[in-house]
Amino acid sequence: MAKAIVTILKNATKTFTLATTAIYIAASLTPYINPIYCSIFTFLALAFPYILLAMVLASFLAFFCFKKYAWMFVLLLLVGTKNIIATTGFHRFTATFKQKKPIATLRLLSWNVNEFYPSERIFDTANSPRQRALAFIKKINADVICLQDFHNYPNDERYRSNILYIRDSLEYQYYYCSVDRQSEHMPSKDDFYGSIIFSKFPIVDTGKTAYNSNNYLEHLAFAEILIGQKKIRFYNAHLSSMQLTTDRKNAGLIYTYIQDDTAILFNKRKLERIAIFDSFHVKQAQIVKQQLNKSPLPFVFCADLNSVPSSYVYHHISSGLQDAFLQKGFGWGPTYDGLSHTLRIDVTLLSPQLKVVQHYCPKLKASDHYPLVTDIALP
């Protein structure tokens, strides 16, 4: 009986080791295979950190199951090197952030602020998420701020204007917003949504590129900022949200903006939505990369990618660029407050002429995303 149990356990371990190895090899291909053509790679990219841990365990078990061939499983870990490097920061002893900005550096804050919810005066109490977010912005005292998922409201008896406060109270005189859409329920030139760039230095040029070909427009925005005698271009982007928390009752309202044939998406479940939106992200990433490649200046790209570092989207955009987290961070560096501790879906990428001095992503409960602070040495 005992011998039979041992045999069963040994066979189960072998099966686990071989199956995990096959899945790991497939997951290691996510930087190279466009998920538009095979959506399974969307989910393999999302799960890569866990698949990596399973592969490490499988490599250990291989020494008991396959003995003299165990080294082959350890070697196969190298197949995922590109994803391992993209997902993991190795700078444990340099990851401590210093509040005092180093001399001759520029401080940048990039953050999905979840529309500064709530901006209604009745709910915007002393410890509301909006007040915590604005207090952090004031404390960090960045030179340039790139905010995604930004919503401005008219400054009236019901709402507070986010632009007015940041411009006047926090002294960011210069700003540019992509204005992706105006509010329909409250027609006002001061009520709009988009990605916005604030600066304490003069903005000398601006522009935006739409990466959706439908009514639900979002844009890649840029602002050229004059810092002393140098001009640096700052890009700011928010790739389409996956609407995972949108229920079916409201799905039609959302999907009318993103696809002509709403019947295709109206009843889709969450896994199907993830695959569909990832295909949108690929198309958006291709447009974004084209624009980055055209930049005549050293640049910084800030974004909520809604895609993880092991995804095709991330690798396509980040090719040839520096990732601030990978330069100075440690671990998996999650930037989203929910679902999984592996979701680093917000990035700060820099062209090769710039240098990351330090990077910081505090787990601040003021939005569903965490802020990214980066100190940059100019060329």
Residues 175 and 312 in one domain: yes
Distance CA 247, CA 97 (A): 40
Residue 181: domain span: 108-377
- The pLDDT, as a whole number, for residue 70 is 83
Residues 63 and 205 in one domain: no
Residues 62 and 199 in one domain: no
pTM beyond 0.75: yes
Residues 181 and 305 in one domain: yes
Residues 119 and 233 in one domain: yes
Q: Provide the 10 A C-beta neighbour count for residue 358.
A: 22
Find the mean pLDDT for residues 335-358: 93
- Tell me, yes or no, whether 329 lies in a domain: yes
154-168, 172-186, 310-324: which has the minimum mean pLDDT? 172-186
Mean pLDDT of the chain: 89
- The pLDDT, as a whole number, for residue 248 is 44
Distance from the Cα of residue 39 to its chain's centroid: 20
Residue 96 has pLDDT above 50, yes or no: yes
Residue 270 has pLDDT above 80, yes or no: no
- The pLDDT, as a whole number, for residue 269 is 74
The percentage of residues in the chain with a pLDDT greater than 90, rounded to a whole number, is 70
Residues 119 and 73 in one domain: no
- Assess contact for 295 and 24: CB atoms under 8 A: no
Residue 260 has pLDDT above 70, yes or no: no
Cis peptide before 118 (omega within 30 of 0): yes
Query: What single-letter DSSP state applies at residue 102?
Result: P
β-pair type (230-238, 299-304): parallel
Domain count for the chain: 2
CATH at 302: 3.60.10.10
208-222, 335-349, 359-373: which has the minimum mean pLDDT? 208-222
Residues 119 and 63 in one domain: no
